[in-house]
Amino acid sequence: MPFTAKDVQALRQVTGAGMMDAKRALEASDGDAEVAAQWLREKGLAAAAKRDDRESSQGAVALFVDGNVGSIVELKCETDFVAQSEHFKKLAADLAALVAHHDEKVVEQRAKEIEDLRITLKEKIEVGDVVRFEAADGDVLDSYLHVQGGRGVNAVLVELQGGSAQLAHDIAVHVAFARPRYLSKDDVPADVVEHERQTFEAISRNEGKPEKALPKIVEGRLGGFFKDVALLEQPYAKDDKQTISQLLGRARIVRYAQVEIG
């Protein structure tokens, strides 16, 4: 018998199932709510909703690069055991390829596959960060993926103008381990800089530094802060005698992205 949107909503409230799953259950049961509820229970879909409040702090990061297009997809779960399973890693890789070939929104079309995997693996599984780069003509796109326990856990994409693929790759490796939060010190928000300035001033006063010396001391400590958070200011991981800016020479980082589990 036919059913309405109100019937779907009522079934969701009773079972805790997702909207599409409730609709599928009513379709499979000819609109009979009791049969549909049993169908959801048997499929494990009702129980899956109870996992929504669990923390999905584990997972895998998939990286896909094809010419001037690259993508990163983070697929999150609850445990290392699930993150290392072949089904989980394959879905992450498939999503990354789809994003590269289409756009970031394409992952929404794979909601059923993600829900089915939740049922199979009995964990909360969800898509985290999704990144897609399409490099401009003449630019270079390269990447780095750090693998741990058989799955990607730290992925980086770098788009470079006026440089080589090797240089872009070297910078991607650096980003993976240095974890800069901004490209340059000019990109650090003014309120963040001011907060750090006040903190360093308070620290210096508490250390008993002379009042007249405070401005110079604070500026020096701000310089250290920028080396921590701004990519261009950071000492190059493979040669700390030069900064990333010096390593680049005439090349320019157009943009970069890092996605890391946890």
Q: What CATH number has the domain spanning 5-53?
A: 1.10.8
Average pLDDT, the chain: 89
More confident residue, 76 or 120: 76
The reported pLDDT for the residue numbered 253 is 98
Amino acid identity at 195 = H
Residues in the chain: 262
The reported pLDDT for the residue numbered 56 is 58
Which two three-digit tokens encode residue 39? 């169908």
Q: pTM of the prediction? A: 0.76
Tell me the average pLDDT across 109-124.
85
Those residues with Cβ within 8 angstroms of residue 12's Cβ, 6 or more apart along the chain or in another chain: 18, 19, 22
Domain 58-183+245-260, architecture per CATH: 2-Layer Sandwich (3.30)
Evaluate if residue 3 carries a pLDDT over 90.
no
- Domain boundaries of the chain, sorted by first residue: 5-53, 58-183+245-260, 185-241
pLDDT, tens digit, for every residue of 191-224? Answer: 999 999 988 988 888 888 899 999 999 999 999 9
**Residue 163 CA from chain centroid, whole number:** 26
The reported pLDDT for the residue numbered 146 is 96
**Cβ burial 174-209 (10 Å sphere, 16+ → b, else e):** bbbebebebbebeebeeeeeeebbeebbeebeeeee
The reported pLDDT for the residue numbered 203 is 86
Task: Quickly state the pLDDT bin for 112 (edges 50, 70, 90).
Answer: confident
**Cβ burial 139-163 (10 Å sphere, 16+ → b, else e):** bbbbbbbbeeeebbbbbbbbbbbeb
User: What is the C-alpha separation between 86 and 192, in angstroms, rounded?
Assistant: 42
The CATH classification of domain 185-241, taken from the options 2.130.10.30, 1.10.275.10, 1.10.286.20, 3.90.1300.10:
1.10.286.20
